Amino acid sequence: MKTPTLIVRLIGLYLIAACGIGLIQIGHMHSLAGPVGIGAQQETVISNWQTYAIIGLIVGIAATASAGPLARLLTFDSESKKEDPDPADRLLKKKDENA
């Protein structure tokens, strides 16, 4: 795995974790409010946070699932480079060329 792909995948995993925990905390806020409930003003703020957390969760899942193409897009790499599947094959090629 190349470094840009790793960075994109780690950012995606961070978004999944942070936004997932945020949604859990929002759920706990409603239960901690008790019978009085949350006021209308606070409800709009909570609704905005919930929307942000859901969007972040979707972006995190998408970034983690498609880290390779997204990393190529973000680094302006127009074509994917094909590497030898096994590094041992490259070493054997070098030995054959030297012989």
What contacts 24+ positions apart, CB below 8 Å, involve 88-94?
none
pLDDT digits 0-9 by tens, 43-83: 888 889 999 999 999 999 999 998 888 888 888 765 655 65
- Split at pLDDT 50, 70, 90, the class of 94 is low
**Residue span of the structural domain in which 41 resides:** 3-79
91 assigned to some structural domain = no
97 assigned to some structural domain = no
50 assigned to some structural domain = yes
Instruction: Compute the distance between CA of residue 13 and CA of residue 67 in angstroms, rounded to an integer.
Output: 11
- Number of residues assigned to the chain: 99
9 assigned to some structural domain = yes
Helix H or strand E encompassing 86: none
Whether the predicted model's global pTM rises above the 0.85 cut: no
88 assigned to some structural domain = no
Please check the confidence at residue 27 and state whether its pLDDT lies above 80: yes
Q: What is the pLDDT of residue 81?
A: 58
Domain count, the chain: 1
For range 20-37, the mean pLDDT: 84
